[in-house]
Structure formats: C-alpha cells, structure tokens
Structure 1
Amino acid sequence: MKDFKVIEVKRSIFEDNNADADRLRAELKSEGTFLLNLMSSPGAGKTTTLKRTISMLKDEMKIGVMEADIDSDVDAQAISETGVRAIQIHTGGMCHLDADMTRQEIREFGTEDLDFVVLENVGNLVCPAEFDTGSTKNAMILSVPEGDDKPLKYPLMFSICDVVLINKCDTLSVFDDFSKEAVKERILKLNPNAKIFFVSAKTGEGFEEWADWIRTEVSEYQKQ
C-alpha cells in the first residue's frame, strides 16, 4: 500500500493553463478582439506570410502583431514597417507561450481598439502545440521544403489547428516529391475540420482565399 502522494505536475500545469486561456478568451471576446495563434517551424515563412496578409487587410480592419522569439527583434521590426502596431516578446529561452504569458503581453500591448491580433509563436512544432494561449483560433504554416510527412511526425500540431497554410508552393517544381494530395489527406485524417490553403507568400498564390477566411472569421466573431 502506498504511503506517499503522487502529484501529476504536468496535468496540473495544463489544467491551470486551460483555465487561464478560457479567462483570456472571455476578455478578448468582450473587447471584440480576434486573436490568432500562428505557429510553424523556423523558416516556414511566418513573417513573410504576415506581411503579405497585413498588406491585404490593414485598410479593412485594425491589426496588431505580437512577435515571440527566444531572442532578437528582427521580426517585429519587419512587421512594424507595414504600418501596424507590433511588439516583440522575448521568451527568455522558453520554447512556447502559455496563456498567462500571452495575457500579460496583451495587456501591455493594449488590444482593446484592435479587430485582429496575430500572436506569432516561437518557431517550433512541439511545445507551442501543447499550450492553449487563449487564442480565438489556431493556425500553422507548413512549407513545401519541409516535406509532406510532417503531419505524421507532429500530429498534435496539426490536430489543434483550425487552419493550415501550405506555404512556398512556388517551389513545388523543385521539391517534386511533395504531394499536395498526400499532405491534405494526412492533415484531414488528424483534423477533419481543418481549413487548408495552398499559398505562396512570395508570389501571392492562394492569399485571396486566406484573406477571405480571416475576413469571415473576424466578422462573424464580432457579430456574436
């Protein structure tokens, strides 16, 4: 018979984080601010994708971007050049943001007057998928050079995302072993409700459909 107590630390951490996430979601809802948590591997094209997305939408809605990195402010500088409000978050070595960290940064950033805020999470396909940030929706970017097998290797990431952008489709002729059909099938097997867009941040391919998704989601969110 056990004479000691077993503490499930990881379970407790996730339960606390989920409660914090729900609180943040409620606060953002009351403000009418739509928060998109954007994730990917390093180099998949998050910042380039954001810059093109912002250029298409900044005259229609008030946009803000929160850039999370272990170090450096290069991405925040690049985003600020688009004319939207941007802030750099240094995670101090942490490979993800949790709900409490996100809430603290949102309050410092000030989102009450913004319609659409993007949290560009730390470049990583593992840790960010485990922690609910309190976002309205989750999105991730998979680039063609990374391969069509990533849903098999990182199933949680693809399972929790409402939308998946397959970026760098302009390189399909070079990476001809990448199968659009295979990657779509693998994603939908994990997440039947996921929206999938094949895009190129370089050429603009597929971005009108992606921008329309944002327009619709933000509009419906603010009407509810």
Structure 2
Amino acid sequence: MCRSVDVKQAVLAKNDDLAAALRADLAGRGVAVVNLLSSPGSGKTELLCRVLAHAVATGVPVAALTADLATENDARRLARSGAPVRQVLTDGLCHLEARQVRGHLEDWLPADTEVLFVENVGNLVCPASYDLGETLRIVLMAVTEGEDKPLKYPTAFGSAHLVVLTKTDLAAPAGFDEDAFTANVRRVNPGVEIVRSCARTGDGAAAVLDRALAARDGAPQHHPPLAPRPHSHDLDGAHGDAPGHTHNHPHPASVPAS
C-alpha cells in the first residue's frame, strides 16, 4: 500500500511541475488561466457561456477549453458566445491534468488571448487534487445541491480562490438556506469571496470576468488554507471514472500560487 501511495504522489508531483511550467509560460504571454470546478448539473457551462459572451461583447480576448468524458455538446454550446472554444475528451478520466491542458493549447490558443477558461470534468473529488497551471480556481455550486456541500467536499471548496453560487433564482423553491451555506463555506475556507449568479438572467457573469481580469493583472488573490486530505476509492463509474478505475492519492497541501 505504501508503494502505491508513493506512485500516486509521484504522479501528482509530476503534474505539479508541468502545471508550474505552464503557468509561467502563459503568464509570460499575459494569459490568466481560470479553472472551473463543480458537480455535474451545477449550471457551470451555461454560466461560462454568459461569461464568454460578455467578454466578447466588451472586447476582452478570451478562450475556453471544456472537458467531458464523451460528446462535444458543451463545446458547441460555448462556441455560440463567439469565443474560441476547444473540447477535451478525457476517455473516462474523471479529471483534467496539466499535460492535457498543455497539449490542447499547442497551435490553438489565439495569440491575443488574455483569459483562458478551463471547464473541468463535472466532479468535486479528483479535479481538486490537480493543478492545471491556473491563476484562479473557481468552485461553483447550485442552490439545489444543499447547504452542506462545502462540508462534504472540503478539499474542493477549501482550495477555491472564489466560490460561485449558481441558480439563485431557484433558492426559494428549493428552500435553500444561504446563511447556512455561507457559514459552511467559511468553515473550510475563511475569507473566500462568494459570488451569486443566475445564468438565466446573466447575473454574476460580469463579476466572474472581473475577477479573472484582476488575476490576469496580478491583483493579490485570496490564498485558501488547504490541509492534505487523502482519499481512496475503487469505483465502477460512480465519480465519472472509467469502470475499474482505482486510485489512492493525497490532495496537495496548497493551491497554486497566483
């Protein structure tokens, strides 16, 4: 078992090295990378479509990578914004890694890009462990998911530079207790900013783009406290993994430096 853990630690260490190099390269080109994490069905794609459309309308050069296990549905949706979009198919992998991001950027990312949005696989477990070379990590949650979700997924919420609460138009019908949600976020990530959004109306899109541009410009970012939280699972597709996918790896002790 110890040897298995060592292998996983080596995998994460290699990913961290690739991510650091990618972050330095893109920062040198004036590009901020925004890593978007959430559960499936949080409204992440629709909000991102609004953010991209707002950027295009205001003359901000942006691009997006969107990851899924299968289909190019999200890339087609996001492309309606007018921004350059590329689909990443993970072939069963439950998260993106820095090598995949780097590989898809080669000979594709427009030279004038200022913000690259990376829509991670819908999963709050594995993606939280992998640095993608991001400047800003955003974790999204819909009001329909329950106030206690930050406590159930402390690594994801604990590693966020920004938390976005989505589908706020459904808060009342869902009986969502926003005060309890805020308190739970603060328990795992004191001081993190929470932005409310509604993709149906576009609320929150401008705020997300503003935070991304601030990261591009080197504005001081919130540095969340994140302790190592090892997890182990032997899954049969339960978290978006390929059948039979097994791993046991520690979560990193810190998020990427901005």
What TM-score, normalized to structure 1? 0.90
Q: Counterpart in 2 of 1:200?
A: 198
Q: How many residues align?
A: 217
Aligned to 1:118: 117
For residues 149 and 61 of structure 1, do their structure 2 counterparts lie closer, same or farther at Cα, with a shift above 3 Å needed? same
1:6-57 deviation digits (Å, cap 9, x = unpaired): 4611111111111111111110111111110111111101111011112222
Deviations 1:82-114 (A, max 9, x none): 111000110011010111111111224324320
Distance 1:108 1:184, change over 3 A: farther
**What aligned pairs does 1:186-197 form with structure 2 within 5 A after superposition?**
186-197=184-195
> Within 1, Cα distance between the matches of 2:205 and 2:119?
18
Residue identity opposite 1:39 in structure 2: L
Q: Which residue of 2 aligns with 1:43?
A: 41
1:146-179 deviation line (CA, Å, top 9, x unaligned): 1111111111000111111100000011011x21
Work out whether residues 33 and 111 of structure 1, in 8 Å CA contact, stay in contact via their aligned partners in 2.
Answer: no
CA contact (8 A) 2:53 2:83 kept: no
- For structure 2, the 5+ residue unaligned runs are 220-257
Look up the SS of the partner of 1:66 in the other structure: strand
Equivalent residues in 2 for 1:21-170 (5 A)? 21-58=19-56, 59-170=58-169
Q: CA RMSD in A?
A: 1.8
Q: Kindly indicate whether the alpha-carbon contact (under 8 Å) linking 1:162 and 1:195 is maintained by their aligned counterparts in 2.
A: yes
TM-score between both structures, scaled by the size of structure 2: 0.79
For residues 213 and 88 of structure 2, the distance between their equivalents in structure 1, rounded to whole angstroms, comes to 26
Asked if the contact 1:98–1:132 (Cα under 8 Å) also holds between the matched residues in 2, the reply is: yes
Q: SS of 1:88's equivalent? A: strand
Distance 1:82 1:207, change over 3 A: closer
Structure 2 counterpart of 1:155, one-letter code: P
Does the CA contact (< 8 Å) of 2:128 and 2:156 recur in 1? yes
Tell me if the contact between 2:165 and 2:194 (Cα under 8 Å) persists in the aligned partners: yes
Q: Do the aligned residues in 2 keep the contact of 1:33 with 1:112 (CA within 8 Å)?
A: no
2:216 counterpart of 1:218 = yes
Tell me the alpha carbon deviations over residues 132-156 of structure 1, each in whole angstroms, 9 at most, x when there is no partner.
1111111121000011111111110
Residue identity over aligned pairs, in percent, reads 33
Worse-matched range after superposition: 144-153 or 196-205: 196-205
Residue type of the alignment partner of 2:40: P
Runs of 4+ in 1 over 6 A off after TM superposition: none
Which has more helix, going by share of residues? 1
